[in-house]
């Protein structure tokens, strides 16, 4: 299957993406998204209700494998053979029982019905995919169809309303002005703003209002939205993860900034969590 299937531009930046997984910015992103999602899942501590999870564009599997470790059943869909290889390497470190709860499938967001059949999921993830697609609407519709009654859809996208904030915090005034101009042009032309991201590929940003409207059009209710990387996005892309104590403080600050106005509106990424109305099915034995 083509690495840029469905018009995705991600394949051209795969090497730098994989090389930076352990750096500060990616660690903050993955940890914040995990914490934010956890607020919408059944609380831990009592008897576990194992959830059926679908992760679309699962990449190297960070979120999918975390949920498998927690006892949930995960179906991961990923179009890139190289990313599936990275996923398999990470999955090999899971305990045997968790590994058995993971199914990795080749495919992309355009063919979810063919890949998953009539299955409906308690949790549907699409995190860090939309920015590489020409439009968000068709993807949102496909994700929504996979959500069971009472099920969640978690979407992480580039924040169009704060597109110029990263270069501004770096005092890169030329780049900040260029992105401010792009935001104005995109609004005047009725399109999403575009940019070149830090793995060197062209990408697209989404406005919170547009994502909310698209989800609600598909019958989902937005429970909450968060900013991701509000205060730690101005570091170089290769900035290493700091010592554990400092990293813990960064994550705690980012978690609080990411859920509170006005700070969350400056997050580089948007994390939108929506739910399909209805009662979830009884837990499988």
* DSSP one-letter string for 102-135: EEEEE--GGGHHHHHTT--EEEEEEES-GGGSS-
Cβ–Cβ < 8 Å for 156, 230: no
Q: Cβ–Cβ contacts within 10 Å for residue 231, how many?
A: 16
258 neighbors 230 (Cβ within 8 angstroms):
yes
Give residue-wise pLDDT tens across range 83-129: 999 999 999 999 999 999 999 999 988 888 888 888 999 999 999 99
CA–CA distance, 145 with 139 (Å, rounded to integer): 10
Phi, psi of 258 (to 5 degrees): -70, -15
pLDDT (0 to 100) of residue 105: 95
Res 10: pLDDT: 57
Give the lowest-confidence range in 74-78, 110-114, 143-147, 155-159: 110-114
**pLDDT of res. 268:** 96
In sequence order, which residues have a C-beta less than 8 Å from that of residue 245 and are 6 or more positions away? none
In this structure, the chain runs to a length of 285
Least confident stretch, 9-18, 70-79, 230-239: 9-18
User: Which pLDDT belongs to residue 55?
Assistant: 97
CA–CA distance, 61 with 22 (Å, rounded to integer): 14
Per the CB < 8 A criterion, the answer to whether 218 and 141 are in contact is yes
Report all structural domains of the chain as residue ranges with CATH numbers, in order of start.
5-159+205-275 (3.40.50.150)
Round to whole Å and give the CA distance between 36 and 269: 13
Quick one: CA dihedral 196, 33, 255, 137, positive or negative?
positive
Q: What is the pLDDT of residue 200?
A: 84
- Sign of the dihedral defined by the CA atoms of residues 264, 270, 271, 275, in that order: positive
CA 156 to chain centre: 3
For position 1, what pLDDT does the model report?
28
Is pLDDT at 6 greater than 70 in this prediction? no
Interhelix angle 62-69/81-91, nearest 10 degrees: 30
Give the helix ranges, DSSP H, for the chain. 14-19, 24-38, 62-69, 81-91, 96-99, 112-116, 137-145, 165-169, 173-189, 208-217, 244-257
Read off the pLDDT of residues 22-48 as tens digits, 9 standing for 90 and up: 899 999 999 999 999 999 998 765 566
Sequence-ordered list of residues with C-beta below 8 angstroms from that of 96, at least 6 positions apart, any chain: none
- With a pLDDT cut of 90, the percent of the chain lying above it is 79
Residue 283 has pLDDT above 90, yes or no: no
Task: Give the tens place of pLDDT for each residue, 51-86.
Answer: 999 999 999 999 999 999 999 999 999 999 999 999
Mean pLDDT (the chain) is 91
């Amino acid at each position: 299957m083509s690495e840029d299937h469905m018009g995705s531009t991600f394949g051209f930046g795969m090497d730098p993406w994989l090389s930076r997984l352990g750096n500060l910015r990616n660690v903050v992103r993955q940890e914040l998204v995990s914490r934010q999602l956890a607020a919408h899942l059944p609380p831990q501590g009592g008897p576990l209700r194992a959830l059926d999870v679908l992760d679309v564009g699962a990449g190297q599997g960070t979120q999918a494998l975390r949920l498998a470790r927690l006892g949930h059943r995960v179906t991961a869909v990923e179009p890139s053979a190289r990313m599936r290889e990275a996923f398999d390497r990470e999955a090999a470190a899971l305990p045997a029982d968790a590994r058995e709860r993971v199914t990795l499938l080749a495919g992309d967001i355009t063919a979810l019905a063919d890949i998953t059949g009539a299955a409906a999921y308690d949790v549907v993830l699409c995190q860090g995919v939309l920015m590489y697609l020409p439009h968000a609407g068709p993807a949102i519709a496909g994700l929504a169809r996979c959500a069971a009654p009472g099920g969640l859809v978690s979407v992480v996208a580039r924040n169009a309303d704060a597109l110029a904030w990263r270069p501004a915090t770096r005092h890169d005034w030329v780049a900040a002005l260029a992105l401010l101009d792009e935001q104005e042009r995109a609004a005047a032309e009725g399109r999403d703003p575009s940019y070149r991201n830090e793995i060197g590929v062209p990408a697209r940003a989404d406005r919170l209002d547009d994502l909310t409207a698209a989800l609600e059009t598909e019958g989902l209710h937005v429970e909450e939205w968060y900013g991701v990387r509000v205060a730690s996005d101005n570091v170089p892309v290769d900035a290493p993860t700091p010592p554990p104590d400092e990293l813990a403080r960064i994550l705690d600050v980012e978690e609080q900034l990411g859920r509170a106005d006005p700070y969350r509106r400056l997050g580089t990424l948007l994390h939108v969590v929506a739910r399909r109305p209805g009662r979830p099915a009884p837990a499988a034995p």
